[in-house]
């Protein structure tokens, strides 16, 4: 696993890790405009296309589903619209409070995904997009808690940053850009590292694949060449290049589906 750091411009280095994470992501959700009723784009995302084949029961309301790190709640709203019994948890008290006000019919809970209030063997499946990587002690506590609250043969779906060759081109530029005022932000994982973490914590990996190649190419263009990702030119160029760029080198994230094992390793 490789560490990524974040510049502390406008951020407080005195906060504990959990307070820092809450403040940081509350700011992200605020800048995004807060929760809305729009969730149609969820059904076009790579994660949904990979996830949907596992929703196989004739009555989807029989499923108990957990969104670990639900953010603005679009995924909970989208899956609930399909009849799934979906709960969203997030560390941001402000964001969860807004979700509770705007969508009182939903199940919204403030929680640290490493230690939740749910009983053992409670959920049929649990998905978490880009969350488990943000704790400096590593993802183990997140995965063990997921195992505890999943039913026997329950399914866990994750995305984490992919540590691939693309990063080698941008790391030198990043070191020049950042001052000494940084703190830990996230881990990146190779396929083998992610599989190992899941196996150790009692999961059998059933599918793992790199995703978000266009986003990876866009980040490469900014990190290695200096093209700002917000430029329209950068986005058009990334869209043109992504189909011919190998996912093993350029993909931004790793997606994994894993099944709860009978015993811990």
- pLDDT at residue 233 is higher than 70: yes
pLDDT tens-digit readout, 149-171:
999 989 999 999 999 988 877 66
Percent of the chain residues topping a pLDDT of 90: 73
Give percent helix, percent strand, percent coil of the chain, each to the nearest 5: 45, 25, 30
**Residues 187-215, buried b or exposed e (16+ Cβ, 10 A)?**
bbbebebbbebbbebbbebeebebbbbbb
Query: Which architecture does CATH list for 2-212+253-260?
Result: 3-Layer(aba) Sandwich (3.40)
pLDDT in the model for residue 178:
52
pTM: 0.92
Is pLDDT above 70 for 176? no
Q: Count CA within 13 A, CB hemisphere, residue 136.
A: 11
Candidate from 39-48, 121-130, 223-232 with smallest mean pLDDT: 223-232
Residue corresponding to tokens 């790199």? 210
C-alpha span between 115 and 117 (Å, rounded):
7
**Which residues does residue 123 pair with via DSSP β-bridges, in sequence order?**
150
- What was the pLDDT predicted at 177? 57
C-beta of residue 118 within 8 angstroms of C-beta of residue 145: no
Residue range 123-135, pLDDT digits in tens: 999 999 999 999 9
């Amino acid at each position: 696993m490789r560490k990524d750091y974040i510049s502390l411009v406008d951020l407080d280095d005195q906060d504990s890790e959990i307070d820092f994470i809450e403040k940081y992501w509350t700011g992200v959700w605020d800048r995004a405009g807060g929760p809305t009723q729009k969730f149609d784009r969820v059904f076009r995302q790579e994660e949904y296309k990979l996830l949907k084949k596992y929703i196989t029961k004739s009555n989807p309301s029989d499923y108990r589903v957990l969104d670990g790190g639900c953010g603005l709640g679009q995924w909970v709203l989208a899956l609930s619209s399909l009849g799934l019994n979906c709960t969203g948890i997030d560390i941001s008290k402000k964001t969860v409070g807004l979700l509770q006000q705007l969508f009182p019919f939903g199940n919204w809970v403030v929680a640290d995904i490493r230690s939740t209030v749910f009983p053992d063997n409670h959920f049929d499946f649990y998905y978490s997009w880009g969350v488990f990587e943000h704790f400096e002690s590593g993802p183990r506590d997140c995965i063990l808690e997921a195992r505890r609250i999943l039913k026997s043969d329950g399914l866990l779906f994750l995305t984490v940053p992919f540590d691939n060759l693309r990063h080698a081109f941008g790391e030198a530029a990043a070191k020049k850009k950042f001052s000494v005022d940084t703190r830990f932000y996230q881990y990146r994982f190779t396929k083998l590292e992610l599989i190992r973490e899941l196996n150790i914590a009692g999961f059998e990996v059933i599918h793992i694949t790199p995703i978000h190649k266009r986003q990876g190419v866009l980040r490469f263009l900014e990190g290695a060449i200096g093209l700002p990702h917000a430029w329209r030119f950068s986005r058009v160029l990334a869209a043109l290049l992504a189909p011919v760029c190998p996912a093993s080198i350029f993909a931004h994230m790793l997606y994994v589906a894993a099944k709860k094992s009978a015993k811990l390793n």
